[in-house]
Copies of this chain bind each other. A is one copy, B any other.
Amino acid sequence: MNTFGTHLKISIFGQSHAPVIGVVIDGFPAGITVDTEALQRFMARRAPGGAAYSTKRKEPDVPEFISGFAHGKTCGAPVTAIIRNQDARSSDYEALRDIPRPSHADYTAHVKFGGKNDVAGGGQFSGRLTAPLCIAGGLCMQWLQKQGIAIAAHILSIGNADDIPFDPVRPDCGTLTAGKPPVLDASAWDRMLSEIEDARKMGDSVGGVIECAATGLPAGYGNPMFEGVENKIAQIVFGIPAVKGISFGSGFEGSRVRGSANNDAFVMDGDAVRTKTNNHGGSLGGITSGMPLIFRAAVKPTPSIAQEQDSINLFKRQNTKLTIQGRHDPCIVPRAVPCIEAAAAVAICDILLNSNHPIGE
Contact = CB atoms under 8 A, between A and B. Distances in A.
Contacts of A317: 268, 271
Contact of A67 (B19, B271, B285): B19
Interface string A296-329: 1011111111010111101001110000000000
Contact of A20 (B66, B226, B231, B264): B66
A204 interface: yes
A182 interface: no
A67 B20 contact: yes
B227 A1 contact: yes
15 contacts: A1-B227, A2-B224, A14-B67, A14-B78, A15-B77, A18-B66, A29-B360, A102-B275, A108-B285, A230-B238, A245-B248, A245-B252, A259-B300, A263-B309, A355-B356
A262 interface: yes
Contact of A287 (B68, B108, B241): B108
Contacts of A22: 66-67, 80
Contacts of A120: 70
A292 interface: no
Contacts of A30: 113-114, 116-117, 358-360
Contacts of A175: none
A358 B111 CA distance: 9
Interface string A328-361: 0000000000000000000000000111111111
A305 B114 contact: no
A168 interface: no
Contacts of A318: 268
Contacts of A353: 356, 359
Given A239-B226, A259-B204, A301-B262, A77 B287 contact: no
